[in-house]
Chains A and B, each alone.
Chain A
Amino acid sequence: MARYIAPTQSKASQIFDVIFLVVLTLGALFVPLKMGLSGAAKTVAAPEANPTWESLGQTPAQAAQYEALGYTPESAHDLILARFDYSFTTGALLAMIVVIIAYYVLMLKFSETEYREVIAEKFDGK
C-alpha cells in the first residue's frame, strides 16, 4: 500500500466545512427548542383556587422561609405545586438504548479501520 498523501483543501472548501459544522451544531440545540420538543417542563396537576401555606403542604418553618424570600401563597403557588412527569414507554427507552449503543458501535468500528491505517503507516512504513 502506498503512503497516503493528503490532498490540499481549497480555502472555499475549508470555509464551507466550518459553516457546515456550525449550522449542524446550532440546529441540534435550537431545532428541539423551536419545535417545543425540549421536554422537562413542569406542570401543576391540581391547582389550588385559594392557596394558603397549609393547602400548599407547607409547614410553618417552610412557610416562614418562603415569606423571608418575599413570597406569598399566591406567588409561590406554581413554584411549589409544579412537578415533572417521569412516565415513559418501554419502546422509547429501548429506542434510546439502541441509538446510544449503535452510535458507539459505529464510532469504534470506523475508528478501528482508520486506526489500523495510522499504525501501519507509522510503524510499518506503509
Chain B
Amino acid sequence: MANTDITSKEMDGFGPHGTVVGLLRVLGPAHVWALGVGIVLVGEYMGWNFAVGKGGAYAALIACWFAGILYSCVAMIDSEVTSTVAAAGGQYTQAKHIVGPLMAFNVGLYLTFAYTMLEAANAITAGYLVSVVASMTGYAGELDQRPFIILVIMFLAWLNYRGVLATLTFNLVITAIAFVAILVLFLSTSGVLGGGIMQHAALMEGHELPYGWIGVLAAMHFGLWYYLGIEGTTQAAEEVRSPARALPFGTLAGIMTLLIAATLTWYTCSGVLPWEYLGDGVDGSVAPLFDTARLSGSTGLVWLLGFGTLFATLASANGCINDASRAWFAMGRDKYLPGWFGAVHPRYRTPYRSIVFLVPIALIFALGAPLDQVITFSILSGLLEYTFMPLNVIMFRKKWPLNTIKRGYEHPFHPLPAIVLLCLCGITFFAVFLGYGTQLIAMIGFYIVVSLWFHFWRYRFVSRGAQFTMPWPKPEGY
C-alpha cells in the first residue's frame, strides 16, 4: 500500500508546484462543519421556497427529502474521495487525479460559478433585509439596496483576504446562531413552547398538489437549494490539521444538521404562510422564516429571525468567497488559468489574488441579475458537478481499488450511492428543463465552448506529469 500521508503535519498546505509558501493548516472539524453548513443554511432562510411555487407545499416537502437523499450520496462520496485527495480545489483536484484535465477544468468552473452566484444571491438577500429593517423602523422612502450589497461583498472579501482561521471562526459563531434561531422558531410556533400557530391542514385545503405530480418533479429544481454547497467542505482540505478525520466528520455532521434544519424549516413556514405567497420568492416571501416570525406576533422572534437571516446570508457569502477563491487559486496554480492566480499571500497565507479578482464578478451578478436567475445559475453549476461525482467515484474505485491507497473514510454500499445520485441528477435536469430550459442549454453551451478553448488552446501551457501531485501508485488499467 502506498503511503499517501494525508495527515502530515510537516507538509503545511502541501505547497506543491514549487510555491514558496502554502496555505496555512489551522482548521479543525468544527470549522469544516461551519464552512459546509454556513454556506448552505441560508438556503433555509431564502430560496428553498421557490420549490413551493413550482409545485405546492407538499411537493416542496417531497423535493426536500429526495434532495436530502441526493446530498447524502454527495456527502458520502465526497467524504471518501476528499479524505484521500486532501488538497485545495476540492472536486477540481479530485477530477484532475481521477478523470482527467478537461473534466477538472470544467469542475473548477462549476465550483467557482456555483459559489460566486450563491455569494451574489446572499448579498441580494442581505440588501433586501436591510431595506425591510429600514421600513420596519419607520423609514418611509424606497431604500437603495445597492450600497449594502457592495458593502457585504467587500467586507467579507476583506475578511477572507486577512486569514482563513478568523474567517471560518466567524462563520462558526454566526452559523450556530442562525441554526439555533430556526430551532427556537420551530419550538415557539409549533406549540412545544407555549401556544402553537400552525395550521397546515387549513392552509393546504384545496391546494394539496396544485400542479399535480409534474409539480413534484418541477419542485426538485429548487429542492437542491435546501442543501446546495455542503460539498464545499472539501475546499478546506489543504487547510485542516487532520484531513482524514476532520473532512468526513465535518461533512457528515453538516449534512445531518441540514436534513434537520430543512425539514423544520418546511414544517414551520408551510404551517403559517399560504403556499402562493410562500412560493413566490420575488414578489411574495423573500425570507420565509423571517415572514413566519412576523406572523407569530412576537417581537423577540422577529428580531431573532431577522438576525438569523442576516447571519445566514453573511455566513454563506463568507464561505462562498472562501470556496470560490480556493477553486480559482488551485486552477491558477496548475496553470489551467494564468499562474498569477496561484499565489499565496506571504503574510496571511491566503489565495489573495483569487479572492480580489472574484469580487467584481460577484458584484456584477448581485447588482445586475434577478434573484431567481442567479439562484438558477448556481443550481445548474452545482447540478453539473453532482452529475460528475458518481462518475468520479466509480472511476476512483476502479483505478485505485480499496487497500491500494490509504483512505480516510470508505463510504458503504458502493456503487449504490453513485447510481442513486446519477438517477436523482437526471430527475433534477428534467425539473430544470421544465422552467429554465433556455438557461440550461445556454450554460451547457458555455461549458462546451470553454472546454474546446481549454483543450485546443489553454492546455498547452500546462505541464503534463506535474499535475499529478498525490503520492499514489499508478492507476490500474494504465
Contacts and interface: CB of A to CB of B under 8 A. Distances in A.
Interface of A: 3-7, 9, 14-15, 17-18, 20-22, 24-33, 37-40, 42, 57-59, 61-62, 65-66, 68-69, 71, 76, 78-80, 82-84, 86, 88, 92-93, 95-96, 99-100, 103-104, 106-108, 110-123
A76 B207 CA distance: 16
A4 B464 contact: yes
B442 A31 contact: yes
B467 interface: yes
A28 B102 CA distance: 20
A17 B377 CA distance: 22
Contacts of A79: 276-277, 280, 283-284
A25 to B, nearest CB: 7
Nearest to B276: A80
B95 to A, nearest CB: 8
Interface residues of B, number: 84
Contacts of B449: 24
16 contacts: A7-B461, A32-B438, A32-B439, A61-B203, A65-B295, A68-B295, A69-B291, A79-B277, A86-B434, A107-B102, A110-B451, A110-B455, A112-B100, A114-B102, A115-B99, A122-B468
Interface of B: 53-54, 99-104, 106, 113, 199, 202-203, 205-207, 210-211, 214-215, 218, 272-274, 276-277, 280, 283-284, 291, 295, 335, 337-340, 361, 364-365, 368-370, 372-373, 376-377, 387, 391, 429-430, 433-451, 453, 455, 458-465, 467-468, 474-475, 478
Contacts of A78: 283
B136 to A, nearest CB: 12
Contacts of B440: 96
A104 B435 contact: no
Given A24-B450, A66-B277, A99 B441 contact: yes
Contact of A38 (B100, B218, B373): B373
Given A17-B338, A107-B451, A115 B101 contact: yes
Judged by DSSP, the binding face of B is: helix
Given A66-B274, A114-B455, 12 more contacts: A26-B364, A38-B439, A40-B435, A69-B277, A69-B295, A83-B211, A99-B441, A107-B102, A107-B103, A114-B101, A118-B468, A119-B468
B446 A118 contact: no
B199 A61 contact: yes
A123 B476 CA distance: 12
A17 B448 CA distance: 16
A63 to B, nearest CB: 9
Contacts of B291: 69
A6 B53 CA distance: 52
A5 B462 CA distance: 9
Nearest to A115: B100
Given A6-B463, A39-B438, A99-B444, A118 B337 contact: no
Contacts of A14: 338-340
B96 to A, nearest CB: 9
Best-surrounded residue of A27, A32, A103, A111 (most CB of chain B within 10 A)? A111
